[in-house]
Amino acid sequence: MSRKVVEIAERRLSLSNLEKDLYPSYGFTKAHVLEYYGRIAGFILPHLQDRALTLKRYPEGVEKAFFFEKRCPSHHPAWAKTAEIRGDNGERMTVCLVNDLETLIWVANLASLELHVPLARAGSPETPDSLVFDLDPGEQADILHCARVALILRDLLSRLRLTTYVKTSGQKGLHVYVPLNCKETTFEDTKTFSKAVAVIMQKNYPDLVTAKMAKEHRKAKVFINWSQNDASKTMICVYSLRAREKPTVSFPLAWGELENLAGRRDPEKFQIIHAEAIHRAETMGDLFREVLVKKQRLPHL
């Protein structure tokens, strides 16, 4: 087994299994994964900052079994930042906070390809700093349907004077974010609001949208998963890799680009893979930066 010791910010990290092919049908090794996270670090770190990370580890690659880890592995390096939070059942647990490059690389080295984080920071677990509409296409629906729904949502919310941002899930869906960043808003508020929006969308576009979780309602429709607005839920972090056949990335799109893509009728065009992600981020900057800072209030609550 190959090992390599690297030093980042005067911290020594032992990297293992670098030649392991984690995306075998595409040919993308652990070394590639580490390189991706190393280069995207400047963009992804602000979005991971102070959030309880859920690791999704693929030690044998994307075609084999994976496991979710909410707890920070007990063998974590002493310098890795952690937080104590209460889990779903009220039990205390220690979670990882990925606040710096060395922790990001350590986590990636655990073959945690996907980085999932809650909508709230660990210090204020009841206060989401954004609201999300997780657009999930059912059977016989695809990302083009999601794009239509996202564009309607953008128009609807802008009339409520809420600015929205969209990213691909890196799989088949889209995620529409409403930055809040105000400490008065609770998950109860975001859930009430997102549910009401989902219900109204379903009422007005019954052939396109459902607000119901049950599979039978979702066929050929886009499920607006409002229930993600919950303290116990996590979302794939923007700029995180996804464990699909190819190393796709959950990547932000400008609304204008989404409009263009929606007109081109090719679902594959929505997918942004690792190299393109780095290239775009480096040339266009972080299109999701406002999600972290823009202060907005939900009306009518």
Partner 1 sequence: MAVQGIWSGTISFSLVAIPVQLVKAIAPGRVSFRLLHSKDYSPLARRMFCPEQETMVPPDEIIRGYEIGPDRYIPITDEELESVSPERSRTIEIVEFIDMAEVDSIYFDHPYYLVPLKGGEKSYRLLVEVMRRTNKAGLAKFVLAEREYLVAVKSTEGALTLTTLHYSEEILPDEDVSPQEGKIDAAEKSRMKKSIKEMMADFNPEKYADERREKIVDLLKKKAKEEATVEAPEIAEEEGEGPADLIAALEEIMRQVKKSR
Return residues touching partner 1 (CB under 8 A).
152, 155-156, 159-161, 183-184, 192-193, 195-197, 199-201, 204, 299-301
User: Contact, 251 vs 170, CB < 8 A?
Assistant: yes
- Choose between 90 and 299: whose C-beta lies nearer to partner 1: 299
- Cα angle for residues 190, 194, 198 (degrees, 5° grid): 170
Cβ neighbours, 10 Å, residue 159: 8
Our CB check for partner 1 shows the closer of 60 and 188 to be 188
Please say which residue, 84 or 184, places its beta carbon nearer to partner 1: 184
Task: Work out how close the CB of 227 gets to partner 1 at its nearest, in angstroms, rounded to a whole number.
Answer: 13
Could you tell me the smallest distance in angstroms from the CB atom of residue 133 to partner 1? 13
Q: What is the smallest separation between the CB atom of 122 and partner 1, expressed in angstroms?
A: 15
124 burial level (CB within 10 Å; 0-12, 13-18, 19+): exposed
Residue 2 or 204: the one with the smaller Cβ distance to partner 1 is: 204
Kindly tell me which of 48 and 209 has the beta carbon lying closer to partner 1: 209
**What CA–CA distance (Å, rounded) separates 49 from 99?**
5
Tell me the closest approach of the beta carbon of residue 63 to partner 1, in angstroms. 41
Residue 176 pairs with which residues in a beta bridge? 133, 166
Judged by beta carbon, residue 161 or residue 265, the one nearer partner 1 is 161
Classify burial at 101, counting beta carbons within 10 Å of its beta carbon; exposed 0-12, middle 13-18, buried 19 or more.
middle
Could you give the CA distance from residue 132 to residue 121 in angstroms, rounded to a whole number? 15
How would you label 242-254 residue by residue, b for 16+ Cβ within 10 Å and e otherwise? bbbebbbbbbbbe
The SS3 assignment for 283 reads: helix
Q: Which of 235, 224, 131, 234 is nearest to 186 (CA)?
A: 131
| Minimum CB distance to partner 1 smaller for 109 or for 202 | 202
For residue 259, the minimal CB distance to partner 1 (Å) is 12
To partner 1, the closest distance from the beta carbon of 83 in angstroms equals 17
Cβ 209 to partner 1, closest distance in Å? 12
